[in-house]
Structure 1
Amino acid sequence: MSSMLGLARSSQPANRGDFQRRIDSAQSLPAFQVRLGHDHDFSITKLIEGEIIPRLLVAHATDAPPLVPVDGMDTITQDEVEAFAPLSLRVEAADLLDRVEAILARGVSVETLMVDLLAPTARLLGEYWKRDECDFVEVTMGLWRLQEIVHEISARTPAARQCAAGGRRALIASMPGDKHSFGALLLDEMFIRDSWITDRLSEVTTAELLGRVSEEWFDFVGLTIGYDYHIGALPTTIKGLRSVSRNPRLCIMVGGPTFVNNPDLAAQVGADGTAPDAKLAVKLAGKLVATHEREATY
């Protein structure tokens, strides 16, 4: 199944130094400037997807310790997450998919895989970056590999992605200015699997986000926030969404590491709620929308 990704394999191990040398030695890359730190003012994702990824997908570690599946286990352990996260920085997406397939083969559901393995892995990559254990490019590459896994798994179950006509509509978006959209991708997938009709926006501007809500009817908007420094703009963004929405009863939820650690912050920024993972977010969103619909009938 991993061959469906069309990724080349390499017989040479790669480490962080080798990763950086490959970037430095890549030929004919366009000139660009990168300002380090958390206040990025560039679209590193587009640069990586268009120029760097095609040159780097041959790099992976052949000596990575395998994940050992346990027959009959339908849960993901913390040890598995801690073993999988560093692999996402070191090996090809195809190799990661092999390990994911082993986990699915022992009876773990797709939803559990996404919520209990892939989402925590993405959060750990963010922690690695905050602790300067890897750089922004490495984190972006790791998240790209996780996205490829989600796309591959989703492609296997098209029947589960069918949405009933006239179903509830959700708009899922990463917070304007947030360069990483894996959280929005994962949330979107979970809503689709619960028969919602969804639109997903990534690397969107505030104007584009408000424009979409003003032009189309949505029952729900989910905003994912990867980094604390985007939270300051949330109250204004949420207020703007409510003011322009075609749905006067629009439900808005926020999610991300900061809200997992401080769920009360959701109410402070003007959202209707938050949830610690995508599976619970779908359940809460359904309850919120149903509550708003009942209130409208009174």
Structure 2
Amino acid sequence: MSEFSASGGQAGGVKRAASLQDDCKDSLLAVIEEQIIPRLLNVQQFFPGKATNSAEEILGAEQPEFEAFTQHCLKGDAVKANQIVDSLTARGLAHDRIFLELITPAARHLGALWEQDLCDFTQVTCGLAMMHQMIYRLGYESPAGQNREGASERVMLACAPGSQHFLGLTIVADFFRQAGSEVVLEISSSESELLRAVANEWFDVVGISVALEAQLQTLPDLIAHLRASSGNPQVRVVLGGPIFLIHDFSPDNLGADAIFTDAREAVGAVQRLVRAR
């Protein structure tokens, strides 16, 4: 009997796969709207007079370079994307207008393209990470979040520098949210940005997903730097990701508190780690 027959036939398998893809899209779009755009722009902190602008008003004010900028981000062409931002700055366009009329609608547009199956997940996350770096380059920090311990666990999930496999992290984040944790999905792609993120906010747990064997070499130093930079002196650092399905490692040897290969198992174990402090 085939694997499909045991669970309702091939049609049932296809239907479940389609349902999973829809769930992933919903999760990513929620992350874009509720986390990535606010963390990119923090409009209320920097531009309080414009914080009430609706998405329609912002999209209606798009710069003429919007389409080219979005395509460059999708293709991962950082040089050309940055050239557009530089040209707007050289023309005297204020940073708040670049944020509100170029980067914000572009981030939303990437999510819409993926929802419509006009690009893949890798393109979306690559483009968002590029925009994230532009914000830092233009001199704006990520918005400061909660800076002290709260009633529920605050978890930051991120890829190890050098990877952008956010699809799995998006699903893991949903498991933590369903268990009552507050989760931030950090799209920083460099160690310096990750350190800045943990310094800006209180996190009980930092979870790092590792995909490549080459990343293991720098992982102990990254973990040590995360602990040193964290606003929480007792922050827990846990690891997961594809590489740990291939190789067995002791968390102690890497400087971590735990390694997980199952998202459901990780949720309960992480909560116990935090509450056992």
**TM-score normalised per structure 1:** 0.45
Greater RCO (Cα-Cα under 8 Å, separation 6 or more): 2
Structure number with higher helix proportion: 2
